[in-house]
Structure 1
Amino acid sequence: MDRTLAELIGQYDLPSDWRAIQGPSGMNNTTRIIACSDGQFVLRIYNNHQNAKIVKLEHEVLQFLLRTGFSLKVPDPVTNRNGDTITVDSNGKLASLFRYIEGERPSVADLEQVESLGRAAGMLSGALEKLPAMEQTVAEYRPYYELAQAYEGWSDEAVLALAYQAELPEEALISISCVLAARKQLQLKLTTLSRLPHQWIHGDLNASNAVAIGRRVTGILDFEFCTIDLRAMEPAVAMVDFIRGDRTEAQRIEAIERFARGFGHERRLGVDETAALPDLMLLRMLDVFLHFAVRLSEGLDDSTVWIEQAKHADAVIGWVDRHRVQLHDMFRETMSE
């Protein structure tokens, strides 16, 4: 890793006194904070793909937000010595350098931060609505509702075959069967859902992709999955994150409501969109579940990762279905036009 860092940083005009500090890295990327006499930067190395088109689109969206004066901080790509914001190492691995954004990750247990995250999501949704269709750029990621196309070949039989091949325990097999049953039910609604309003969305907005100073969210990170999708997917993706096993029923409901109020303060959705939000939350969970199935099949994860994802998806889907009426009324009150 040290050699890769030196090779990548060597392509930028940074002082020679730079040093790398390990930063929070996700499943898809490696992150290092680069400290030097010119300040602090963040180096992001893309581990899950070598598709420069995805990174180029991410940077175009960021540059649009920066150029149009978006009120929250977003990553600012740094140009390398070749005049590009995408850097490639000798093994073909892609990387980008961004100016460091001060702040800490907001906590889902802090309701003021949760409501502020909702406001930030609403503000971003309003800003991205103004992003023109970029004629030279095609979104690389499919809309969430194109689940079958995004995971072509991942039939129920294929998913179960992977589970049996990985010798998953009976408990995990039961969860996977429940998730697949939910997918079958949701597939009947996808054509109707696909008619809801579309626009550019962040696509992966949650507390781990935001920064806060004090009780206020001040920045949004990680635009890698930006695409054209249902505009109501933006809050749906974020709200699923509040349905955690370590949270009580009351804490889950309160966090979702505070986020929804924050979002609705900045952006209102149509009645048909808020009515669809519970199903869109399920759609997010199905996408994550299948994403980790693919990762297991490609040898990127141990089977224990998919087991936990399957159990979590099953639990969240069941919870949303049990609270569907309550959520519907809440979203209509807090987010509808």
Structure 2
Amino acid sequence: METIVSKAWPEWAGTLRRRSGGWNNTTYFVGNQTKRAVLRIYDTHKDKGKIEFEHAVLQQLGSQNLPFKVPVPVSAATGETMFQIDESGKFACLFRYIDGDTPNEEASGYAQSFGEAAGILTTVLADINPGLTPVYRPYYELRTSYPLCSTEVIRELCLYPPEPFRELGMELEMLYKAYENITDSLHEFSGLPHQLVHGDLNASNLLVQSSNPSVVAALLDFEFCTFDVRVMEPAVILSGLLGHVEEKTMIRDFCRGFSRRVQLTPAEINAIPVLMLLRKIDVFLHFVTRYLEGTDESQVLHEQIKLLSADLIQLSEGTAEIGTIVREEQGRASRL
């Protein structure tokens, strides 16, 4: 990795420290006497077009006067913002370092700031035109997005699981029922308001201020940014709050912050519970694809099956309450 940085970004060369966590990419912190940066290796694809779209969005966002930071890609010696690292075809990118901390798993005080930041981002993304065609499809185009995950493949995996997953029969059956339910509803979403969305905002993709952890300092990882239904943004975030020890407080606080910046239509509000379910099934198909392609060993999918099936239980129990909270906070904001 040191050789890659020295070759592609010579003035940024320094010591490297690998960052733990992350499912889709490998990340290193890079530092020398005068500069700090973050090196990202894209592990799950070798599609230059995906990275070009991400960077086009980031470059436009970087020119906005936002109250939080976003990643700023650094041009390599070639003039491009990416570098093909070896014969494997993987790409590496360098981003300027952003000060801040990943929220503690037990923390909840940043939720309102997170909601407001997500609302501001939604408003700004509505006016951005990267000048490129997005490679990632909207969430509701589930079948197109995961060609390896045909209905037959998912049915076989879930109802007749192979040895590595045989003990998860009940969890897989639950996921299959949810998959069937959501695929029957996909046509309902194409008529909702569309725009660019980040599409993967959660606690692992943000930083809070070190001096004040209740304030969001940065929104990160725009890899999956694409043109989708606007309300998918809060739906993804709300789905990520399920199971938190302060779940109800965080959901209300997030909705309060978001509603200050974005007023959703009644149809969008009604769609949120179903879109939260869509997010969970999308994540399931994402990791099934990684397993089928050989990117991950079986234990990664095994862990995701357990996590996602638990999320489905929590979602089924809390759907009505989540919808009520969204309506209440949207109404409160509209009266201010």
Does residue 194 (structure 1) correspond to residue 190 (structure 2)? The answer is yes
Match of 2:260, SS? Answer: helix
What is the aligned counterpart of 1:209 among 205, 209, 227?
205
Report how far residue 297 of structure 1 moved.
1.1
Match of 2:196, SS? Answer: strand
Deviations 1:175-195 (A, max 9, x none): 111111112122222211221
Cα distance 1:169–1:93, how it changes in 2: closer, same or farther (>3 A)?
closer
Q: Which whole-Å CA distance do the structure 2 matches of 1:24 and 1:168 have between them?
A: 26
* Counterpart code for 1:110: A
Report how far residue 153 of structure 1 moved.
4.8
* Counterpart code for 1:38: T
Structure 2 residue aligned with 1:31 = 27
Gaps of 5+ in 1: none
Structure 2 residue aligned with 1:13 = 10
Report how far residue 126 of structure 1 moved.
0.9
What is the aligned counterpart of 2:307 among 303, 312, 319?
312
Cα distance 1:15–1:181, how it changes in 2: closer, same or farther (>3 A)?
closer
Assess if the C-alpha contact under 8 Å between 1:44 and 1:95 holds in 2.
Answer: yes
Match of 1:224, SS? Answer: coil
Q: Which whole-Å CA distance do the structure 1 matches of 2:53 and 2:106 have between them?
A: 33
Matches within 5 A, 1:184-263: 184-213=180-209, 214=212, 215-244=214-243, 247-248=244-245, 251-263=246-258
Deviations 1:257-280 (A, max 9, x none): 111111112222111111111111
Matches within 5 A, 1:1-337: 4-14=1-11, 18-91=14-87, 92-107=89-104, 109-132=106-129, 134-135=130-131, 137-162=132-157, 164=160, 166-213=162-209, 214=212, 215-244=214-243, 247-248=244-245, 251-335=246-330
* Counterpart code for 1:39: K
Match of 2:22, SS? Answer: coil
Deviations 1:61-90 (A, max 9, x none): 011011232331011111111111111123
Gaps of 5+ in 2: none
Assess if the C-alpha contact under 8 Å between 1:274 and 1:331 holds in 2.
Answer: yes
Q: Which whole-Å CA distance do the structure 1 matches of 2:47 and 2:148 have between them?
A: 22
Report how far residue 152 of structure 1 moved.
3.0
Match of 2:109, SS? Answer: helix
Number of residue pairs matched by the alignment: 327
Assess if the C-alpha contact under 8 Å between 2:2 and 2:15 holds in 1.
Answer: no
TM-score by length of structure 1 reads: 0.91
Assess if the C-alpha contact under 8 Å between 1:117 and 1:207 holds in 2.
Answer: no
Cα distance 1:332–1:165, how it changes in 2: closer, same or farther (>3 A)?
closer
Assess if the C-alpha contact under 8 Å between 2:125 and 2:197 holds in 1.
Answer: yes
* Counterpart code for 1:183: Y
Moved more, 151-160 or 201-210: 151-160
Q: Which whole-Å CA distance do the structure 2 matches of 1:230 and 1:285 have between them?
A: 16
Deviations 1:179-218 (A, max 9, x none): 1111212222221122110000011111101011122001
Assess if the C-alpha contact under 8 Å between 2:62 and 2:72 holds in 1.
Answer: yes
Provide the identity percentage.
Answer: 36
* Counterpart code for 1:62: L
Cα distance 1:168–1:78, how it changes in 2: closer, same or farther (>3 A)?
same
Q: Which whole-Å CA distance do the structure 1 matches of 2:255 and 2:50 have between them?
A: 30
Q: Which whole-Å CA distance do the structure 2 matches of 1:35 and 1:119 have between them?
A: 32
RMSD of aligned alpha carbons? 1.9
Cα distance 1:334–1:109, how it changes in 2: closer, same or farther (>3 A)?
farther
Q: Which whole-Å CA distance do the structure 1 matches of 2:116 and 2:169 have between them?
A: 39
Assess if the C-alpha contact under 8 Å between 2:236 and 2:279 holds in 1.
Answer: yes
Report how far residue 166 of structure 1 moved.
3.6
Cα distance 1:143–1:89, how it changes in 2: closer, same or farther (>3 A)?
same
TM-score by length of structure 2 reads: 0.91
Q: Which whole-Å CA distance do the structure 1 matches of 2:294 and 2:10 have between them?
A: 37
Moved more, 43-52 or 258-267: 258-267
Q: Which whole-Å CA distance do the structure 2 matches of 1:15 and 1:171 have between them?
A: 49
* Counterpart code for 2:100: G
